[in-house]
Structure 1
Amino acid sequence: MTFVQIVDCKTDQVDALNSLMDTWVEQTKGRRTAARSIVGTDRENLRHVVEIVEFPSYEEAMRNSDLPETDRVFREMVALCDEPPTFTNLDVVRDEQLNKLLATRFFEIANGPDEAGLDEFVAEDYRDHDPAAPRQSASREDLRRVMRMWKTGFDFRMTVEHMMADGDTVCCRWSMTGKHTGEFMDLLATDKVVEMTGITTMRFQDGMLREAWWQYDNAGLMKQLGLIRM
């Protein structure tokens, strides 16, 4: 079970605190068990600093605490604070990265019969970046048109193999299997079964998909359809 530790302290030496954390990250490279760390200041009280540290488990957190560098950094951290920091220890019972949920929803719509659900979370001025496309999508309606083009040409299914989120960006590695059942790029249906892999990076803002960058094996797809020789 994921374990999160919240450290509260009061200090006006935030820059020194950040420098201390940089030193700890460098000195514990390859041995620390912390997965990630977030440091924030209270907007209502800039001297109130909160650090949120995530670990794979409570046991890994204890291993991290046993590192000599962790003990030294903690003592130096106490010296920077007005009073001893307070700790809140949390066992995570629910962890949803909302942008990942929206990315998952995108592929559900891609696999579905229509694109009406795009209105829920795709910005009207959505922009597409697809080096294989003759025309880049510059709106939600353009995206809807592209989806319909693929659905007209193929009876396909996209499967997300792996997904990673970092801030407002979600990166998805996916595979597609489909049958060429309709006209696609002026090519009439061949009934050929094709496969393709790709990566899509999505940028979200305020709960809306704003941009996406596509990289996929377009040349391999064209070869399977008999459009090019390799």
Structure 2
Amino acid sequence: MNNEVLLKAFMQEVWNEKNIAAISKYVASEYTIYLDNSNPWEGKTINHEEFKKRLNFSFDSFPDIHFEIRSAIADGNLVAITWIMTGTNTGSIGEIPPTNKNIEADGITLYHFLDGKISGHTQVYDRTRIMKQLGFID
């Protein structure tokens, strides 16, 4: 399976279908978040258990979170995707109670691969847009 196909399967099975048990099928034992502004894991290298916690943070806050991949470009051990993320905030975000509001944001993520598995990412998207949609800021 080439890296682009593997990444698309990962996004569908793990993110969209919430199959946390499939993490080890796609993700290397060490996963580095190189850049992901306002992400508490930015700059860290995490293992599968920490990766599960990271996913559950998103799934608990937005149980219906969904990523639509708009485009993908593969180059060696890198695959870049543009995406649209949607979801409804029906769970608490940390100490903040749910707003029951919908979100939609677009972004780009560059995934890094090592030995046929996803080993990290570099990501950019406008989290301020989400904060506005949730009513946290004007």
Tell me, yes or no, whether TM beats 0.5.
yes
Matched residue, 2:57: 149
Give deviations 1:37-70, integer Å, cap 9, x for gaps.
Answer: xxxxxxxxxxxxxxxxxxxxxxxxxxxxxxxxxx
Task: Provide the rounded CA distance (Å) in 2 between the counterparts of 1:111 and 1:203.
Answer: 20
1:207, distance to aligned residue in structure 2 (A): 0.4
Bigger Cα displacement from structure 2, 179-188 vs 134-143: 134-143
1:141, distance to aligned residue in structure 2 (A): 2.4
Q: Which has the higher contact order (CA 8 A, sep 6+)?
A: 2
- Is the 1:128–1:143 Cα contact (8 Å) retained in structure 2? no
Q: Secondary structure at the match of 2:65?
A: strand
- Is the 2:28–2:114 Cα contact (8 Å) retained in structure 1? no
Matched residue, 1:162: 71
- Is the 2:82–2:109 Cα contact (8 Å) retained in structure 1? yes
Q: Which runs of 5+ in 2 are unaligned?
A: none
| Correspondence 1:193 to 2:102 | yes
RMSD after superposition: 1.4
Q: Secondary structure at the match of 2:132?
A: helix
Q: Secondary structure at the match of 1:228?
A: coil
The 5-angstrom pairing of residues 122-133 of structure 1 reads 122-129=27-34, 130-133=36-39
Aligned pair partner of 1:134 in 23, 28, 40: 40
User: What letter matches 1:103 in structure 2?
Assistant: L
Indicate the structure (1 or 2) with the bigger Cα radius of gyration: 1
User: What letter matches 1:225 in structure 2?
Assistant: L
1:145, distance to aligned residue in structure 2 (A): 1.1
Matched residue, 1:114: 19
Task: Provide the rounded CA distance (Å) in 2 between the counterparts of 1:185 and 1:163.
Answer: 32
| Correspondence 1:224 to 2:133 | yes
Task: Provide the rounded CA distance (Å) in 2 between the counterparts of 1:142 and 1:218.
Answer: 22
Task: Provide the rounded CA distance (Å) in 2 between the counterparts of 1:208 and 1:134.
Answer: 23
Q: How many residues align?
A: 133
1:113, distance to aligned residue in structure 2 (A): 2.8
The 5-angstrom pairing of residues 199-210 of structure 1 reads 199-210=108-119
The 5-angstrom pairing of residues 64-143 of structure 1 reads 98-108=2-12, 109-129=14-34, 130-136=36-42, 137-139=44-46, 140-143=48-51
User: What letter matches 1:116 in structure 2?
Assistant: A
**TM-score (structure 2 length as normaliser):** 0.89
Task: Provide the rounded CA distance (Å) in 2 between the counterparts of 1:143 and 1:153.
Answer: 16
| Large movers: runs of 4+ above 6 Å | none
Task: Provide the rounded CA distance (Å) in 2 between the counterparts of 1:185 and 1:201.
Answer: 27
- Is the 2:59–2:65 Cα contact (8 Å) retained in structure 1? yes
1:99, distance to aligned residue in structure 2 (A): 0.1
- Is the 1:176–1:195 Cα contact (8 Å) retained in structure 2? yes
Give deviations 1:184-212, integer Å, cap 9, x for gaps.
Answer: 14221111111111111011121011111
Q: Which runs of 5+ in 1 are unaligned?
A: 1-96
Matched-pair identity in %: 30
Task: Provide the rounded CA distance (Å) in 2 between the counterparts of 1:178 and 1:135.
Answer: 21
Matched residue, 1:183: 92
**TM-score (structure 1 length as normaliser):** 0.55
Task: Provide the rounded CA distance (Å) in 2 between the counterparts of 1:131 and 1:185.
Answer: 17
User: What letter matches 1:168 in structure 2?
Assistant: N
User: What letter matches 2:137 in structure 1?
Assistant: I
- Is the 2:33–2:41 Cα contact (8 Å) retained in structure 1? no
